[in-house]
Amino acid sequence: TGPVSCPAPGGTRGGMRIGIIGAGRIGSTLAGHFDRIGHEVVISNARGPQSLTGLVAELGGSVRAGTVEEAADFGEVVVVSIPYGRYRELPADRLRDKVVIDTCNYYPERDGHDADLDADVTTSSEKIKAHTGSNLVKAFNTLPWQQLRDHAYRGDGVPRVAVPLSGSDDGAKAVVAGLTRDIGFDPVIAGNLGQGGRRHQPGTSVYATELPAAEMDALLHAA
Ligand SMILES: NC(=O)c1ccc[n+]([C@@H]2O[C@H](COP(=O)([O-])OP(=O)(O)OC[C@H]3O[C@@H](n4cnc5c(N)ncnc54)[C@H](OP(=O)(O)O)[C@@H]3O)[C@@H](O)[C@H]2O)c1
């Protein structure tokens, strides 16, 4: 294989059911992207679907608002994009064994201190995976939301921006890599949730960068 190793070259274009928990900058941007390539999307937040009327109108397309439980039940793939400190509120029983995309980052000043993460005995994604029992893939956590919004759907010949992803389940990684590719980014596998996840969390050299895949791959696997 080349420098960029990614499972399953195939795409996922259209027809998948995607639930989104967290309708902020990242969750709503991904909702629009997935809708645009023909997936069915149900988006949710903490305050409930009635608070999402404006967002849904703004997104256009066929994105629907639901409760967190509805989004979790609806999705074959469920995006979790909430402040890390609130992950224990996720409906674990509804996410068990599902493919979950975790965009969350740990910021103690926002999330409160997590002793395990401060001591680096585990990662934020491993903790969310343990809570939910899901096939969790960490992805879309490094690009600032404006870049996630603006660099999707690059045409042929336009260099794509890389999105690192990590996970412990090859099938789930392949699904998320396909979705990533279909909205116009280049997925680059960082590794499993522990070692791999540590390679693209806040404070790493790839965090908040906009890189092509080969450079991303080199940085992720340096040292
Ligand atoms: N912003 C970025 O550029 C960026 C980039 C990469 C990764 N991230 C990470 O991705 C995550 C989301 O970031 P963001 O900037 O999109 O956040 P945000 O704009 O602050 O939005 C957070 C969303 O999460 C919802 N939420 C909070 N607790 C919830 C719960 N228990 N159940 C359901 N929904 C809940 C909020 O709902 P309400 O509005 O109803 O409270 C809101 O819709 C964070 O962990 C962040 O660190 C952010």
Residue 27 CA: nearest ligand 1 atom is 16
> Is the distance from the beta carbon of residue 34 to the nearest atom of ligand 1 less than 6 Å?
no
Q: Which residues 6+ apart lie within 8 Å of 57 measured at CB?
A: none
Q: Cα(19) to centroid of ligand 1, in Å? A: 14
Across 187-216, average pLDDT: 97
Question: Which residue's entry shows tokens 């070692």?
Answer: 195
pLDDT at 11 (0 to 100): 57
- Asked if 97 contacts 134 with a C-beta cutoff of 8 angstroms, the reply is yes
Residue 37, amino acid: I
> Is the distance from the beta carbon of residue 144 to the nearest atom of ligand 1 less than 6 Å?
yes
Across 91-114, average pLDDT: 98
Residue 205, pLDDT above cutoff 90: yes
Class of domain 17-220: alpha beta
Q: Cα(40) to centroid of ligand 1, in Å? A: 21
CA atoms lying within 13 Å on the CB side of residue 50: 0
Residue 115, pLDDT above cutoff 50: yes
Question: Which residue's entry shows tokens 């940085």?
Answer: 219
Q: Of 79, 136, 132, 88, which Cα lies nearest the Cα of 112?
A: 88
Across 107-132, average pLDDT: 98
Instruction: Read off φ and ψ for residue 174, nearest 5 degrees.
Output: -65, -40
Q: What percent of the chain has pLDDT over 70?
A: 94
Across 64-72, average pLDDT: 98
pLDDT range class, residue 10, cuts 50, 70, 90: very low
Q: Cα(157) to centroid of ligand 1, in Å? A: 33
pLDDT at 1 (0 to 100): 30
Across 106-125, average pLDDT: 98
Q: Whose CA is nearest to atom 32 of ligand 1?
A: 46
Across 140-164, average pLDDT: 94
Query: Which DSSP symbol is given to 100?
Result: E
pLDDT at 2 (0 to 100): 32
pLDDT at 9 (0 to 100): 40
Q: Cα(25) to centroid of ligand 1, in Å? A: 7
* Lookup: tokens for 84: 């890390």
pLDDT at 156 (0 to 100): 78
> Is the distance from the beta carbon of residue 26 to the nearest atom of ligand 1 less than 6 Å?
yes
Tell me the pLDDT tens digit for each residue of 16-67.
999 999 999 999 999 999 999 999 999 999 999 999 999 999 998 899 999 9
pLDDT at 3 (0 to 100): 35
> Is the distance from the beta carbon of residue 149 to the nearest atom of ligand 1 less than 6 Å?
no
Across 53-82, average pLDDT: 97
Domain boundaries, the chain: 17-220
Mean pLDDT of the chain: 94
Across 156-178, average pLDDT: 95
